Amino acid sequence: MIFGRVKPIDAILATAEKKSLHRSLGALQLTLFGIGCVIGTGIFVLTSAGAQKAGPGLMLAFAIAGAICIVAALCYAEIAAMLPVAGSAYTYTYSVMGELLAWSVGWALVLEYAVAASAVSVGWSGYFSGTILNEFLGIQLPAYLAAGPLALGGAPGGLINLPAVVIALLVTWLLMIGTTESARVNAVLVAIKVTALTAFIVLTLPQVEMEKFNPFLPAGVFGGFGSGIGAVGAAATIFFAYVGFDAVSTAAEETRNPQRNVPIGLIGSLLFCTIFYILVAAGAVGTIGGQPIMGPNGIPFPAGSAELARQCAMPEYSGMLVCSNEALAHVLRQIGFSGVGNMLGIAAFVALPSVILILLFGQTRIFFVMSRDGLLPEGLSKIHPKWKTPYVVTAITGSVVAFAAAFLPVGQLADIANAGTLYAFFMVALAVMLLRKSEPNRPRPFRTPALWLIGPLTMAGCVFLFLNLPFEAMIVLPTWALIGFVIYFAYGYRKSHLGQGLVEVHESDLEQNAPIHD
């Protein structure tokens, strides 16, 4: 039976020890990993898309997304501390609900991380083109090299987003060199990013005008299932920026003392980032306003659409928050702090690659573990003898991310990424509750408080946000899942180590990839 292929927890832990990644990350590095991923996209990039969906209600959207993330993080903290191995929700599902559902989760995570990394690459491109090239060097990048095609929601005259392609490939190269080196670079970038956002808050909050928040909810709280608008629709879009705490759990196998450090990294990074999100959103909307551009039917134009791109190309709308490709730098320039705005643009230019780095990090580790279990070709899990990283899958992933970033706008990419994110979070909450029943005596360094409430709240919140994505984004998940199941039944079902009765790693694998320990 397919649903009978449940991998024992003890076997998962033993496998990780025999064919493992290098344990080099501590609690501080994990927390910085989470902050580096969470603070970035949602603030530096998606502020514009969120305002187009919700107007000043963007603040409420951040609160809604943050609340759902907090309950999800509590579920993640318990199971990640119990299973300190790479693979995140995929591994957790494998140990509780079996191989078929584990495959579906792993396949969804592949979509989540890769598309999200593409989205941030596009966001970085906006700051590079606007601040570095235009403001400092006086260079206007040709339209055909600065954005994707208009038909895909890019910009008039757009063809390919060249800067986004370049940054995606550069970050891929950095990840191939090694995790420890990546973590050190990330720590510096997080410091730059937090400093820039703190300066933004200090400069904007004293200039907030309360009338800018009126109307607070121009598209309402709830725009209707499948519409992607309103405060809940905006929350569904920006939710993917919170995926940082999920990336922390994927790094568990490369963590020293994971039972202690993983819960610290998960919850600490999330709480820190949620506060920043709401304060920065208040400063942006309260100074220059954040009203959406309405269509002829009184409903906001869809974020990332060709219709909105045409409106933003008009002079009367070009200065609006919802039309900016570098939202926070744009706000500071509008209120008379052009120099500081340019510095913030530089900070985003320097720091956003840390978000791409962590998303690619998480994605390649999911691929690594699925390959290690035999569900994907085992050549993907080859570890470089010098760099000690899964370099084959890292190179493949980076190339795909660069391709998506070349042609699609950030708003569409964010919504697509969320489909996989929300499904994975739903399954983690379910796995935690099932494990409480099936493994009640297994040590739990961190126990989710009031799981009888937190677990169902997480699942309900994920379903609710999923139904508030644009219909086009919702359809991506079942389509992607169908492709995944074809691959699974054509390859993974037959090649699965567990299906062949091999719950441990092959001896040939052990010889090729000797254990790596500090």
Q: Model confidence over 362-418: pLDDT tens digits?
A: 788 788 888 888 888 877 777 778 777 778 888 888 898 999 888 887 777 888 888
Query: In this predicted structure, what is the pLDDT of residue 438?
Result: 85
**Rounded percentage of the chain residues whose pLDDT exceeds 90:** 16
What residues pair up with 300 in beta bridges, in sequence order?
A: 294
d(CA 316, CA 203): 26
HSE at residue 7, side-chain half, CA atoms within 13 A, is: 30
Residue 454 has pLDDT above 90, yes or no: yes
Which residues lie closer than 8 Å to 261 by C-beta, 6 or more apart?
25, 26, 27, 30, 255
What average pLDDT does the chain have? 82
Position 4 pLDDT exceeds 70: no
Chain centre distance of CA 140 = 30
- Which pLDDT score, from 0 to 100, does residue 92 have? 82
For 345-467, strand residue ranges (E) read none
Distance, CA of 6 to CA of 496 (rounded, Å): 12
Say how many C-beta atoms besides its own lie within 10 A of residue 339's C-beta: 10
Residue 145: is it exposed, middle or buried by C-beta count within 10 angstroms (0-12/13-18/19+)?
middle
Q: Any idea which of 98-112, 192-206, 254-268, 481-495 has the lowest mean pLDDT? A: 254-268
Residue 43: its pLDDT value, please? 77
**Sign of the four-CA dihedral 357, 106, 303, 225:** negative
Query: Residue 459: what pLDDT?
Result: 96
> What count of other Cβ atoms lies within 10 Å of the Cβ of residue 3?
10
pLDDT, greater one: 87 or 151: 151
Residue with the larger pLDDT of the pair 516 and 385: 385
pLDDT at 163 over 90: yes
Please spell the DSSP secondary structure of 371-401, one letter per residue.
Answer: HHTTSS-GGGGPPPTTT-S-HHHHHHHHHHH
Q: What's the confidence (pLDDT) of residue 136? A: 85
**Token couple for 299:** 């409903």
pTM of the model: 0.81
State how far the alpha carbon of 439 is from the alpha carbons of 9, 79, 80, in Å.
10, 12, 15
pLDDT of residue 21: 56
Instruction: Look at 165 and 16; give whichever has higher pLDDT.
Output: 165
> Cα(13)–Cα(28) distance, rounded to whole angstroms?
24
pLDDT at 275: 84
Confidence class for position 186, pLDDT limits 50, 70, 90: low
Nearby residues of 209 by Cβ (< 8 Å), 6 or more positions away: 286, 287
Rounded mean pLDDT, 416-421: 86
Binned at pLDDT 50, 70 and 90, residue 505 comes out as: very low
